[in-house]
Amino acid sequence: MDVPRLYSWDVEQGGAGGVTDDPVRAIDHVNTALASSPPGTCAVVKRVQLSIGLVPGYLLVAEVGRARRDQVTGHVVWEVVQVPPMRLRR
């Protein structure tokens, strides 16, 4: 049985966040959330896995990318986006 790949996304300053099994969906959520956030707001997408320890939650596997809403243009700008290739499911 394959371990599911999970991706968390979080917007700073009390913004939206969540977990999905699709990195593209996580990036789309960040783009949508930042588009309606104040300029300068930042967000991050991370690859995570379920914690099997005493404390429930997620453990960081890798950072996929960071985004911010540009102060001047208002556009969402991504830095170091590294979406790992995913196996096709049959």
Whole-number Cα distances in Å, 62 to 36, 47, 84: 27, 5, 10
Q: Please give the chain's pLDDT, 90 residues, in tens.
A: 677 899 999 999 878 999 999 999 999 999 999 999 999 999 999 999 998 878 888 999 999 999 999 999 999 999 876 655 555 444
Q: What local confidence, expressed as pLDDT, does residue 88 receive? A: 43
**For position 44, what pLDDT does the model report?**
96
pLDDT computed for residue 72 by the predictor: 95
In the numeric block, the tokens 């453990």 are attached to 59
Question: Which residues on adjacent β-strands are paired with residue 9?
Answer: 18, 45
Whole-angstrom distance, CA of residue 32 vs CA of residue 65: 15
**pTM for this one?**
0.82
Position 90 scores a pLDDT of: 44
pLDDT for the residue numbered 54: 80
- Rounded CA-CA distance 66/32 in Å is 14
